[in-house]
Amino acid sequence: MTFQAFRMSLVAAAITVAGFAGAPTLAHAQDTRATAATQAQPAAAKPRVVVLATGGTIAGAGASAMNSATYTAAKVPVDKLLAGLPELSNVAQVSGEQVFQIASESFTNEHLLKLAQRVSQLAKQGDVDGIVITHGTDTLAETAYFLSLTVRTDKPIALVGSMRPGTALSADGALNLVNAVSVAASKDARGKGVLVTMNDEINTARDVNKDINIQTSAFKSQWGPLGMVVEGKNYWFRAPVKRHTTQSEFDIDSITSLPQVDIVYAYGNVQPTAVNALVAGGAKAIIHAGTGNGSVADRMVKPLQDARAKGVVIVRSARVPYGFVLRNAEQPDDKHDWVVAHDLRPEKARILTMLALAKGASTQELQRMFWEY
């Protein structure tokens, strides 16, 4: 199918679902399992991949082909997305399921839990070889990291999104989705943990982050990608070195809720207002997104010490996108009983801290986890 034909199919789908109010909610997620396209090869010869759709730009639609940044996200249902890509049938037996239909900035802890539970269920099925999750790009990296910590499987799991809706000129979603399915269908991807496939790159869930909000090259890992997808073929250059999936001590099957963990952002003339409010609001941990090497302003040290004295876990991270936070460098972390996030960004430090506290981890155990995960 040509790009023009694919774009027109999405335009038609957007028109069909215009005003669509049946977006699955957390409590009423609709299973819209739909076989992708007529198989071009014997079905038994191809891997079986399930696409779990959650919404986002990849399911979005704009008013015109020129609207690449102004559009409505979470518009096109998964059956329409898959029907517009008959090329998928050359890669795998593909079926789709609509789990949510939301923009990812609205993801909650409950969405994370429900999605991870469904991924875990599918991963245990003998008739599923790989899983793809379509997701809005705003919190895609957070969801990917959560899944990498909680779903115990060596089967390939690939998250994918797009920076432009399918109705836009030069939309990136179609190729991203085909590439993600090729990764999920690949035996070489087994055991590599949860992956993010965007802009021809294959990145590990732990390292990848959204660094650009307006270009298709939005997702980058400071330590580099694991591999690339070129014309449907996967090329691998390295493997993850941190613990994930089958090596994880976390298991979604035993997690029913997550504690409140919040983030405080550092800046010039920062005041303790946010820290005090979060402590009063019941936060179990605060991730301090500090300047530089996770630096903490003088006026913030006492409020954070007071919070720790009340049982709130304090994690020093950095608002700087690259590098890592050194323990006992900018602050005497041992003395304060604080934790450092190493090279995890604040939003991912929050994910790991939630899971650790849900297990009742001490600050010493949490620090170990930051080194290992």
Active site residues: 57
Determine the distance from the C-alpha atom of residue 233 to the mean position of all C-alpha atoms in its chain, rounded to a whole number: 23
Q: How far apart are the C-alpha atoms of 151 and 133, rounded to whole Å?
A: 14
Q: Is 346 strand, coil or helix?
A: helix
Q: How far apart are the C-alpha atoms of 275 and 254, rounded to whole Å?
A: 31
Sign of the C-alpha dihedral computed for residues 280, 362, 152 and 130 taken in this order? positive
User: Edge-to-edge, what's the strand order for the sheet holding 93-102?
Assistant: 34-35, 93-102, 48-55, 130-134, 157-160, 194-198, 201-204, 227-230, 233-236
Which residues is 221 bridged to in the sheet?
208
Q: Which amino acid is at 104?
A: S
Q: How far apart are the C-alpha atoms of 186 and 168, rounded to whole Å?
A: 30
**CA nearest neighbour of 185 among 152, 225, 232, 153:** 232
Which residues is 313 bridged to in the sheet?
285
- Yes or no: say if 313 and 341 are a contact pair by the CB < 8 Å rule: no
| 234 token code pair | 């996967």
Q: Tell me the C-alpha to C-alpha distance, in Å, between residue 92 and each of 27, 177, 302.
A: 30, 12, 57
